[in-house]
Amino acid sequence: KAGVTQTPRYLIKTRGQQVTLSCSPISGHRSVSWYQQTPGQGLQFLFEYFSETQRNKGNFPGRFSGRQFSNSRSEMNVSTLELGDSALYLCASSLDGHSYEQYFGPGTRLTVT
């Protein structure tokens, strides 16, 4: 079956702009989590969506938001971009949350100039 897909793969934005990233989970997976990965910081949890509801949230400012649609596809939005938002953003899907294997997408590399 098809894996997790993320679009776009690469993105260059300017400070102050906003960006929307998309994630399509594996068919049948209802949980989608988003992570930010920066050098030296490891994977930082942004939020998890399950059945269109945000079930958990990491310690990120309100500029980071997300949503999940009825087909389990998820989007992540970052408003008022800052240079420090430059990172690899990964989404992962699973059957039902964090006690299950996470299947990762290829990521979106965001560069903020």
Partner 1 sequence: ILNVEQSPQSLHVQEGDSTNFTCSFPSSNFYALHWYRWETAKSPEALFVMTLNGDEKKKGRISATLNTKEGYSYLYIKGSQPEDSATYLCASDAGNNRKLIWGLGTSLAVNP
One residue of 11, 43, 67, 79 binding partner 1 per CB under 8 A = 43
Query: How near is the Cβ of 104 to partner 1 at its closest, in Å?
Result: 4
Q: Does residue 28 belong to the site contacting partner 1 (CB under 8 A)? A: no
Query: How near is the Cβ of 54 to partner 1 at its closest, in Å?
Result: 12
Q: Does residue 90 belong to the site contacting partner 1 (CB under 8 A)? A: yes
For partner 1 (CB under 8 A), the number of binding residues is 25
Cβ neighbours of residue 30 closer than 8 Å, sequence gap 6 or more:
50, 51, 72, 95, 96
Structure tokens at 21: 């990233």
Rg of the chain over Cα atoms, rounded to whole angstroms, equals 13
The span from the CA of 110 to the CA of 108, in Å, is 6
Query: How near is the Cβ of 33 to partner 1 at its closest, in Å?
Result: 7
* Pattern 57-76, partner 1, x by CB under 8 A: -x------------------
Would you give the distance in Å from CA 27 to the centre of its chain?
17
Structure tokens at 58: 């990491």
The span from the CA of 113 to the CA of 105, in Å, is 25
Q: Which residues bind partner 1 (CB under 8 A)?
A: 4, 33, 35, 40, 42-45, 48, 55-56, 58, 90, 92, 97-107
